[in-house]
Amino acid sequence: MTIKKPYQIEMDFTATPVDDLLKQYQLHLEVLNRSPKTIIWYSDILSRFFHFLTHNGLTKPVQEVTQQDLEKYIRYRSTAVRWPNNPAISNENKGKLSPFSIQGEVRAIKVFWSWMFSSGYIEKNTFSKFPLPTVPKTIIKTLTVDQIKALLEEIDTNTATGLRNFCIVLLLVDTGMRISEATSIEISNLNLNLCSLKTMGKGQKERIIPFSPHTRKAILKYVTYYRSELCALASPYLFPARDGNHVGVNTIQQVLRRLAHKAGFGKIKIHPHLFRHTFATMFLAKGGNALVLKDILGHESIQTTQKYVHLLPEDLQKQLWKYSPLTDVLGK
Q: What's domain 6-118's architecture?
A: Orthogonal Bundle (1.10)
* CB-CB contact of 284 with 178 (8 Å): no
224-240 average pLDDT score = 90
Confidence of residue 12 (pLDDT cuts 50, 70, 90): very low
Confidence of residue 11 (pLDDT cuts 50, 70, 90): very low
Tens digits of per-residue pLDDT, 256-305? 999 999 999 887 888 888 898 888 888 888 888 888 888 888 877 777 77
Q: For 145-317, which CATH superfamily applies?
A: Intergrase catalytic core (1.10.443.10)
Residue type, 137: K
The mean pLDDT of the chain is 84
User: So what's the pLDDT on residue 302?
Assistant: 77
**pTM attached to this predicted model:** 0.69
Between 310 and 33, the more confident residue is 33
Q: How far apart are CA 153 and CA 145, in angstroms?
A: 12
Domain boundaries, the chain: 6-118, 145-317
User: So what's the pLDDT on residue 14?
Assistant: 45
Of the CA atoms within 13 Å of residue 164, those in its CB half-sphere come to 23
Check whether 168 has a pLDDT greater than 90: yes
Buried/exposed code over 277-292 (b: 16+ C-beta within 10 A; e: otherwise) = bbbbbbbbbeeeeeee
Between 23 and 17, the more confident residue is 23
* CB-CB contact of 107 with 49 (8 Å): no
Confidence of residue 13 (pLDDT cuts 50, 70, 90): very low
User: So what's the pLDDT on residue 284?
Assistant: 81
